Amino acid sequence: MAAPLLTACGNDAHPGAAAVVGGQRITVAQLESRVDEVRAAQRAAVPDQAQYAQVLAQTSTLTRDTLHGMVLDKVLDRAAEDAGITVSRREVQQVRAGLEQQAGGAQGLETSWLQQYGVAPERLDDNLRLQLEAQKLATQLGTTTGDAAFWSVLSVTSKELGVDVNPRYGSWDAKKVSRVDAKTPWVREVTAAGTQPT
């Protein structure tokens, strides 16, 4: 009984994928690489072993949170593309310069983004581009990024893309535009061991 349930979740259909968004794979290797970037930045920012242990405890869901962010980025990208929205590199640099001024320099901004949003320094420009996309999309809709109308558009886009998350990381709720934990903990245990059902 267990094997058909697991394969129905897309594990065999997309081997090595943490998620599939609109037919595009986010591989487990890509996800782990992103998590490693954040961990390396956290380690550099907190050289004290005891403090670093606290950071690890506070960010114990980093892998799942990172996957949520990677999927949401793709959904937002598509929604912006569908709305004809573009963000130039110059716009990103202007926003970054303004934020750096507020944060007391590039290092201050990188540390702040790492602590608040779990964004590694090398991903900062990408994150700012997505923030700008979201703002432009909200403006075009005559709303804000926190408003239900904005999230409703992302929900529609999410459904159109057909997000499929590896059960090891939970599942995707298109209505909420969010990753949710699997209701069946045994699925995680089986897939976490790296063994395919026979």
Q: Structural domain boundaries of the chain? A: 2-192
The pLDDT, as a whole number, for residue 183 is 65
- Please give the Cα distance from 169 to 76 (Å, whole number): 20
- Phi then psi for residue 57, to 5 deg, are -65, -40
- In order along its 198 residues, the chain shows pLDDT tens digits of 333 333 334 444 577 899 999 999 999 999 999 999 999 999 998 888 899 899 888 888 999 999 999 999 999 999 999 999 999 999 999 999 999 999 999 999 999 999 988 999 999 999 999 999 999 999 999 999 999 999 999 999 999 999 999 999 999 999 999 998 876 554 444 444 444 443
pTM of the complete model? 0.81
Query: What's phi and psi for 106, nearest 5 deg?
Result: -60, -45
177 backbone dihedrals φ, ψ, rounded to 5°: 50, 55
Using only C-alpha atoms, the chain has a radius of gyration, in whole angstroms, of: 18
pLDDT of 13: 55
Residue 38: name the closest of 126, 128, 115 by CA: 115
Strands 171-173 and 178-180, sheet pairing:
antiparallel
